[in-house]
Structure 1
């Protein structure tokens, strides 16, 4: 188990290092995926503030979702964070997958955020 966690930590550091160089002042769309839920934030690293956030635990989504740990939940969270980010005046972001493989729930969230109007 510790090898998997260590690999995730190394990937996370590698991804964040690449994001810092490529960001060009854009906010970061950061994903956290647990075994039961998915969370996402739009973070302005220059000011250190969260501009928008959404998760599968939001009251507007929780009643409609079967579980917070599937692709449908990730898509719903992606659309919701795109709406909230656009309301905050953010349209261009850089995607921070936090070391997770771009597959399954992470990919579904990213695709839904793009459909919702975020550019990355």
Structure 2
């Protein structure tokens, strides 16, 4: 049985989510990318609450879903996390390969001082 790209990504994401859970001490940093925008949020899974979120939707960028946008979102969410005194997170790549936009995003967050 063949899966579409999206179905395969969702299956990978469910596998990852069975192993990763965000706590108050180490919340989960989740990534989602659509064809037009790049989104990220930091989530406390025990309370079911989004602590910090950021997206390229409201940023003033020429192209809102490329590597530059991913880096901008990474820097923005790291600044917001530091403001909320979040220094360590569990990275949830959302079923995407750790390559390209996702990798650039992760490196931008690490450069700003958030640890995985």
Q: TM-score, normalised by structure 1?
A: 0.88
- 2:43 and 2:4 mapped to 1: Cα distance? 29
The correspondence of residues 1-120 of structure 1 with structure 2, limited to 5 A, is: 2-20=3-21, 25-58=25-58, 61-62=59-60, 65-120=61-116
Bigger fraction of residues in helix: 1
- DSSP-derived class of the 1:36 partner: coil
> Gapped runs of 5+ residues in structure 2?
none
* Counterpart secondary structure, 2:114: coil
Alpha-carbon deviations, 1:69-115, whole Å to 9, x = none? Answer: 11001001000000001101111000001101111111111110111
Deviation, structure 1 residue 2: 4.9
Name structure 1 gaps, 5 residues minimum: none
Deviations 1:25-53 (A, max 9, x none): 51000001001100000001111111111
Structure 1 residue runs of 4 or more that deviate by more than 6 Å after TM superposition: none
Provide the TM-score with structure 2 as the length reference.
0.91
